[in-house]
Amino acid sequence: MLFRSVRISASTYVSWKKCPDQASAKLQGIYGPESRPAFLGSLAHRLFSRHLRDGPIHPEEFAQAAKEEIGGSNLNHKMVALGLKPSTLDPVIEEARALYERFTNLPDEGFEGAEVELDHMASANVELVGSVDAVFREDLGGHRLVDWKTGELGEPEDQLLFYSLLWALARDELPAIVEAVSVRTGERYHAVPSTRDVVAVAGEVADLVNQVRQAWADGSAAEKRGGPWCKFCPILEDCPEGQAVGALLD
């Protein structure tokens, strides 16, 4: 049987843990609508990376720096999709400024890289990919992988363990620490991943691939699970479970 190539990212894996059918949709290129919080978060992340790579952004240069990051990335297209115009960007840029000012208070000792891309071909047609917001060298050896959050911290464990698997496959070592930090709220989560953890994630990724391929092969839908994640689901219009959850949340 000729299998379709599958590219699994951390967001796909996290989606699958919540709702396999949502992950299946993403793997087929079906995405939900753009949102202002997501746009703001992406802009803030680009400014954080700019700070780490090039140094602090002077307050008087901040607005211009933000516009440069928008214009030099896919944020320019997302701005159009959201109906934002250059003349209406000021409030978004000021929100990004507030996040950036909080970010500058975080320690950066041992910084080695920002937006570090990780990639591993698990087989001829299964690729695992990820981008770690920041990598730091630990004093006692090893590396700390950090994911910045611009909203509430949420439940970052699955995402961080996926990064741990990718790091182990790419670098032949486990990260010393994985950490998620909410720049907005100050919440922090960190863990020390084990070999057992990453082996478990690898098994779940294999299950993910097998389940979505089976659904594609027989034309069925993967399992649907309702929850708060349904709000921006790309297949919400065709999902009674998600609509029921949305009605309850509203």
Q: How confident is the model at residue 246 (pLDDT cuts 50, 70, 90)?
A: low
pLDDT in tens, 92-128: 999 999 999 999 999 999 999 999 999 999 888 999 9
pLDDT in tens, 200-227: 999 999 999 999 898 888 888 788 888 8
Measured CA to CA, the distance from residue 106 to residue 186 in angstroms comes to 10
Measured CA to CA, the distance from residue 112 to residue 83 in angstroms comes to 37
Quick one: pLDDT at residue 2? 47
Q: What is the pTM of this model?
A: 0.92
Residues 6+ apart with CB under 8 A from 86: 67
Measured CA to CA, the distance from residue 225 to residue 156 in angstroms comes to 19
Quick one: pLDDT at residue 171? 93
Q: How confident is the model at residue 247 (pLDDT cuts 50, 70, 90)?
A: low
Instruction: Indicate the residue type of 153.
Output: L
Give CA 1 to chain center in angstroms. 32
